[in-house]
Structure 1
Amino acid sequence: MSHRKTLLAALLGCAVPLLVSAAEWPQWRGPDGQGHIAGSGYPLTWSETENVVWKTEIPGRGHSSPVVDGNQVWITSAIDAPISEEKRQAKLKANTGNQPLTLVGELSLRAVCVDRATGKLIHDIEVTTDDDPDWTHQINTFASPSPVLEDGRLYCCFGAHGSGCVDTQTGKVVWTNKELKIQHENGPGSSPVIWGDLYIVHCDGSDKQYVAALNKRTGQLAWKTPRSGAMNENPQLRKAYGTPLVARLGGRDQLLSPGADWLYSYDPATGEELWKLNYETLGFSIVPRPVVHGDMIYMSTSFMRPHILGIRVDAAGGAPKVAWRYDKAGPQIPSPILVGDALYFVNDKGVATCLDAKTGELHWEARLGGNFAASPSLADGRLYFHNRDGKTFV
């Protein structure tokens, strides 16, 4: 097996809240999924020698974000074996895209836990395996979706390679599920959400596109809803890597679900489609997660030329409408963040933008420098932007 390492660090003041009060960072982008961190007093600078409490090497590779509960910090990782040349050539022929690929043999897909105070390794658990995995993009990993923590259970998603649930105290695997198969093309990216007794995840491949819910206690399929919007003729433009958000809109819980070319709303209990809205521009390989305030939804259409949409939901249950559209310097990968009446985002090339959330008018724009994939966070009244080189702008 390949034992490449991922480095997990606890920083006094970084946007991963490893040192704030316990049990309030259960999923990607925090408790409400919108990137707001509680607490105060975070340092504004750190380095290899300043304001670093501990650093721990994690076996394997992964892009998932840590989740925190009490003294436990969890992250997912993938350890791979070399692929035979025969299988390598067969997979290269099967790929219909032109992206740079990572091709591997067997996969061990894992959940790793470290002590919050010391960084000491507590658990390293094999959640599931894949003996013949599809390829992933070279900048992606097989452990990119972030897990979810709830009531002593860790819910892990590895896309088409499988999902699983782990008891956080014993480290035992409670269930696994390998039914949700699609062709990602670039590897997994959609993180799950927990709502009631359901584990809900996007499955937007080049071949099939649907949203599915598993019973969080058993891992059995609860519902599965195909995407109903018209799809592009090119299969490569049908895929997406978005993460849903459950929000209270129009007097009910709605599962906001960005897919290729369409934003959907579903009843999270049943998977019934409530409405859908076309982006009116090419939008695929969706990564950014929507943010919500009042009756407004804010999202990026991602690839190829991202548009930021301000979408107003009808309180009476009518069709939502695009209230405004901003088509300059939008992000393909980072999610936006809402602070009061201001919407902030940074695009992949490092241009940070602030818009009036009510009107979409530009407040300011600034070039930060470097390339970006991480989503910004808010902590103690300050925004944190992290580029791919490990530099943070506050």
Structure 2
Amino acid sequence: MSKRTFQSFARKAPLYLVLLGGIALLLIWIPSWGDRQYQYIATAAVVLVTGFLAIAFTLFLSGYSRKARLTVFIVSSLAAGGLAGLFRIDEVTGDLLPVLVFRWKGTADEALPLLAPSAPPPPGTEISPALAAIGSPAKAQGYGQFLGPNRKATIDGTGINWDWSRTPPAEMWRRPVGAGWSAFSVSGGRAVTQEQRGPNELVVCYWLSSGEVAWSHADPARFQEVLGGIGPRATPTIAAGKVFTFGATGILNCLSLSSGSLVWSVDVLKETGCPNQGWGKSSSPLVYDGLVIVAAGGNDCPGMVAYREQSGEEAWRSAPSEPGYCSPSVAQLAGRPQLLILNLGSVSSHDPATGKTLWSHPWEGTQPKVTQPVPVEGDRVLLSSGYGVGAELLAITEGAGGSLEPRSIWKNRNLKSKFSNIVVYQGAAYGLDDGIMACIDLSDGKRHWKGGRYGHGQLLLDGDKILVLAETGDGVVVQASTAGHTELARHKLLDGKTWNHPSLPAPYLLVRNATEAACYRLKRD
């Protein structure tokens, strides 16, 4: 290549690089990758590399005049410095799309006022309700723990009319709340959640009828991380007139439901010596047979720790494991109650009374595990995780000497649930496969259909209707059917990114995200 030819090419190289970058973006976005986060990562890489090479060619190889090159250097430096100086990444979506805000803008939770208890309860509010035992069928105005009865995001017999085209949700109240991904637990006219306001991590009890604050409890703790966001992740558990909460920094509280007064408190990470997780502690406390059980884990720390419900005294520690972001649950499998937990690299079952490991099964991948293991009929357990992992169905059988053994029935990538949980109806499982609703057959794992992009939202099953609280804050009603994806109704419930689970103390629907909460009344048939 002659010197003149090279100089001609070098002068046009930045334009060629921009053109190649554009082609690369088309190749990234024209086909569907399934998981959009990898498309966003690839897009960022192409833009950064193309921009860097184009500027480098212009400055050092293009042969442009010194004045032109100096102009490019100054403009590109000011642009890069200006972007970095003016903006910060406030949060990311479930697909890792960054949300930019001005650097001088504070976080929403820091702007909220201090909480104060409200006036006496609204007329007709029941002050000291008789609480239904956790695990019993859901009753009106009773939804006492994460994912509702049995922690399966499934409720039967609410009598809700899901035809929102004729009877749309009626908004009862809406109010700003502190940051966090906690959901509401409800009992006797009280709705309790966890939120972050400035330097304090709060447990807040609202009156279900009005949204006014009944009481709040504060701990001087704050968790903040760009990918995971600000504030507590776990959902309170209500049992026997008490509220049990687990904060993002590992503070386990037992509070009075009626007044919010502290009964006992344990700093789990301090007591066990366990490290916190990258996205904060997310385990919603399980209250079972006089024990309060939370996930701990990390390094050589116990995977779970149980405390006495009445005193907070430690009862047992399970074997060490690297934690996921799931909550413990109890299921009847192979003729006995078993405590299930999904860890970072395995799913394990434990004796609820002692924490002893009953069985363990490897679960691949080093990315966070968030979706709850789902017990299904026939002594089976369904697993699913995102980040390309997929789903697997296990059968739990009793072996020689009474030992329990997990056996894989099938395993594939037809349902990759990243943040949301799975619901099961009439032999089929429904979930968000990297943000798109999918239905698979439980018998063989084959996919019936896939359709409807709802982002990384949450699901709740009522009869044969699935309520999807989309990542955008939309409420969507989908028919639970293997015949195909059918969207029955849609209503805007919240504004902004929503990762929190909905709560359905029928006939009320409680929803929230990191900035606002709302209560709707749903019509019954």
* TM-score, normalised relative to structure 1: 0.79
Q: Determine the C-alpha separation between the residues in 2 that align with 1:21 and 1:271.
A: 31
Q: Determine the C-alpha separation between the residues in 2 that align with 1:37 and 1:141.
A: 30
Match of 2:89 in 1: none
Q: Determine the C-alpha separation between the residues in 2 that align with 1:222 and 1:337.
A: 32
Relative distance call for 1:275 and 1:309 in structure 2 (3 A) is: same
Match of 1:342 in 2: 428
Relative distance call for 1:145 and 1:30 in structure 2 (3 A) is: same
Match of 1:389 in 2: 472
Name the aligned partner's letter for residue 278 of structure 2: E
Relative distance call for 1:217 and 1:28 in structure 2 (3 A) is: same
Query: 1:327, CA displacement in angstroms?
Result: 0.9
Which runs of structure 2 are paired with 1:61-76 in the superposition (5 Å)?
61-76=179-194
Match of 2:446 in 1: 361
Contact kept? 1:283, 1:304, Cα under 8 Å: no
Query: 1:359, CA displacement in angstroms?
Result: 1.8
Match of 2:217 in 1: 125
Match of 1:241 in 2: 325
Number of residue-to-residue matches in the alignment: 336
Q: Determine the C-alpha separation between the residues in 1 that align with 2:461 and 2:328.
A: 20
Query: 1:304, CA displacement in angstroms?
Result: 2.8
Contact kept? 1:27, 1:33, Cα under 8 Å: yes
Select between 376-385 and 35-44 the one with higher mean Cα deviation: 35-44
Match of 2:117 in 1: none
Residues 62-118 of structure 1 deviation map (CA, whole Å, 9 limit, x = unaligned): 21110111211111112223xxxxxxxxxxxxxxxxxxxxxxxxxx22111122222
Are 1:322 and 2:404 matched, yes or no? no
Q: Determine the C-alpha separation between the residues in 2 that align with 1:175 and 1:44.
A: 45
Relative distance call for 1:137 and 1:219 in structure 2 (3 A) is: farther
Which of 37, 53, 63 is the matching residue for 2:171? 53
SS in 2 for 1:313: strand
Greater C-alpha radius of gyration: 2
Query: 1:347, CA displacement in angstroms?
Result: 2.6
Residues 33-77 of structure 1 deviation map (CA, whole Å, 9 limit, x = unaligned): 11112301234438xx95333234254212111011121111111
Unaligned runs of 5+ in 1: 6-19, 82-107, 229-237
Residues 358-391 of structure 1 deviation map (CA, whole Å, 9 limit, x = unaligned): 221222111x1242132x1112420112221112
Contact kept? 2:391, 2:415, Cα under 8 Å: no
Name the aligned partner's letter for residue 190 of structure 1: S
Q: Determine the C-alpha separation between the residues in 1 that align with 2:232 and 2:304.
A: 19
Name the aligned partner's letter for residue 352 of structure 1: M
Q: Percent identity?
A: 21
Relative distance call for 1:112 and 1:28 in structure 2 (3 A) is: same
Q: Determine the C-alpha separation between the residues in 1 that align with 2:311 and 2:453.
A: 46
Relative distance call for 1:272 and 1:212 in structure 2 (3 A) is: same
Q: Determine the C-alpha separation between the residues in 2 that align with 1:134 and 1:53.
A: 31
Match of 2:145 in 1: 27
SS in 2 for 1:55: strand
Unaligned runs of 5+ in 2: 1-108, 114-137, 478-525
Q: Determine the C-alpha separation between the residues in 2 that align with 1:216 and 1:159.
A: 20
Q: Which of the pair has the greater relative contact order for Cα pairs under 8 Å at 6+ separation?
A: 2
Residues 102-142 of structure 1 deviation map (CA, whole Å, 9 limit, x = unaligned): xxxxxx2211112222222212222x333xx5643444332
Match of 1:299 in 2: 383
SS in 1 for 2:244: strand
Contact kept? 1:258, 1:264, Cα under 8 Å: yes
Contact kept? 1:136, 1:142, Cα under 8 Å: no
SS in 1 for 2:449: strand
Choose between structure 1 and 2: higher strand proportion.
1
Which runs of structure 2 are paired with 1:1-394 in the superposition (5 Å)?
2-4=110-112, 21-22=139-140, 24-38=142-156, 39-45=158-164, 51-81=169-199, 108-126=200-218, 128-130=219-221, 135-180=224-269, 181-205=274-298, 208=301, 210-227=303-320, 238-279=322-363, 281-294=364-377, 295-300=379-384, 302-316=385-399, 317-349=403-435, 351-366=436-451, 368-374=452-458, 376-394=459-477
Q: Determine the C-alpha separation between the residues in 2 that align with 1:112 and 1:44.
A: 32
